[in-house]
Amino acid sequence: MIRIVKLGDMPKEEILKRELPTVKAEAVVSEIIRNVREKGDRALYLYTEKYDKVSLSSLTVGEEEIREAVERVGPEFMALLARAADNIRLFHEKQQRSGFFFTKENGVVLGQRVVPVDRAGVYVPGGTAPLCSTVLMDVIPAKIAGCPEVILTTPPGKDGKVAPAVLAAASVAGADRVFKVGGAQAIAAMAYGTETVPRADKIVGPGNAYVAEAKRQVYGAVSVDMIAGPSEILVISDGRSDPRVLAADLLSQAEHDVNASAVLITDCPVLAQKTADEIERQLLLLSREKIARASIEQNGKIIVTDDLEEALELSNELAPEHLELAVDDPFSLLGKVRHAGSVFLGRNTPEALGDYLAGPNHTLPTGGTARFSSPLSVDDFVKKIQVTSFPAAALDAVRKDVAEFAMAEGLDGHARSALIRGGIAGKEEDA
């Protein structure tokens, strides 16, 4: 059963502690990356046989397989994907930047260009829950950013094919190429390139501990979005919420995996107990009961505070991936939220809405990293190039200042670079 704790009855550090999984993946992932770099496609085929238990004749998903996938999911699901895609595009189009230029009175031109990365790589996990929603969330912002090419890697099933829903979503989102490669080997392939999988400039998307470790190890050779951990939800509620609704929202994340975290913070002890009882009842209704129950028992908790102010303070310390404000006037509390990946306001805005249909991105910072990082966005797929132009007279006015800074740092070559244009460095040598 989920734990109920009263703030003050145990040290705050114990209440806020996250039980993050510890997987010794460094050595295994390092070997996978090394083999992919050395052996290319051959390593990808071997790892696919080893981990996915299937022998492939090609790593590339062909147009015929995509057409078959679209037919299999049917027109109604394709229409649903299209509606979700429209909402995601509408939200992310607001994030586009155009750069800027301005001219100062002395003729100096300064500016910034915003340029998309040449190739974005999207990783989509396989397994028992093919995340077709992640395809939309990760490919669409890259396309809006203007990336010339967006590639997608995802593991094949035992039949050697990619989950139809994933391919259907890739078609709707506009992915340019799809490859049947999963795990750390897919990250290595996109980071360094193989005969079939091209090298990407940015790799995004969730995955297991091995995928996360691979992203950590290849960072520097390629950019990555984040090192994501298990899914999290934190719900802040007053005593007027329906415990059935709160339990359902908490379980919506607990069913992701045994390491997921589901937390309720409330100022009402009665609601806390009713929600705990309701969680037990609803667990029996879930097809993934075993996973959700392990998550609830290992990482779930209900924290009772004196008031909602304390609840918000705790929330900011936890910096959760998903934060629901299940109160009468959530907008009055929103300004006090400093650290969260995505916030859901009111009793009628479940986190699941954000997973699929609302429009804001569901690839979010976890493990408290919302203290300093942000959800996936169009910004992840662009880079900024600064521009500076000084006419001769403008440089003449500041070159001695530049030289003074340079000499203060002991960099006389920098000083010479500024002074020589005005003839000063040359005159000093002649003297």
Catalytic residue, from 92, 256, 322, 362: name it: 322
Residues 95-103: contacts with CB under 8 Å, at least 24 apart? 95/141, 95/144, 95/377, 95/378, 95/379, 96/144, 96/145, 96/378, 97/378, 97/379, 97/382, 99/384, 101/387
Domain assignments of the chain as residue spans, ordered by start? 26-226, 229-372, 392-430
Angle at 32 between CA 29 and CA 35, to 5 degrees: 150
160 torsion bin: left (phi>0), alpha (psi -120 to 50), beta (else)? left
pLDDT in tens, 33-89: 999 999 999 999 999 999 999 999 999 999 999 999 999 999 999 999 999 999 999
Catalytic residue, from 65, 232, 255, 321: name it: 321
CA 229 to chain CA mean position, Å? 10
Burial of 294 (0-12, 13-18, 19+ CB in 10 A): middle
pLDDT in tens, 182-205: 999 999 999 999 999 999 999 999
The amino acid sitting at 77 is F
Torsion of CA 140, 141, 142, 147, to 10 degrees: 100
CATH number of 26-226: 3.40.50.1980
Do the two domains 26-226 and 229-372 of this chain adopt the same fold? yes
Mean pLDDT, range 112-133, rounded to an integer: 92
Whether 256 sits among the annotated catalytic residues: the reply is no
Split at pLDDT 50, 70, 90, the class of 11 is: confident
**Percent of the chain having pLDDT more than 90?**
91
Sign of CA dihedral 356, 359, 365, 370: negative
Q: Which of 310, 351, 346 is nearest to 330 (CA)?
A: 346
Could you say which DSSP state residue 284 is in?
T
Model pTM? 0.93
Mean pLDDT, range 286-315, rounded to an integer: 96
pLDDT at 426 over 60: no
Q: How far apart are CA 266 and CA 271, in angstroms?
A: 8
Split at pLDDT 50, 70, 90, the class of 431 is: very low
Dmax over CA atoms of the chain, in Å, equals 92
pLDDT value, residue 20? 67
Burial of 104 (0-12, 13-18, 19+ CB in 10 A): exposed
Q: Is 264 helix (H, G, I), strand (E, B) or coil?
A: strand
pLDDT value, residue 415? 96
Q: Which residue has the higher pLDDT, 421 or 91?
A: 91
Q: Quick check: 238 and 327 in contact, CB under 8 A?
A: yes
Whether 321 sits among the annotated catalytic residues: the reply is yes
Q: How far apart are CA 380 and CA 378, in angstroms?
A: 5
CATH number of 229-372: 3.40.50.1980
Angle at 108 between CA 105 and CA 109, to 5 degrees: 115
Mean pLDDT, range 93-122, rounded to an integer: 97
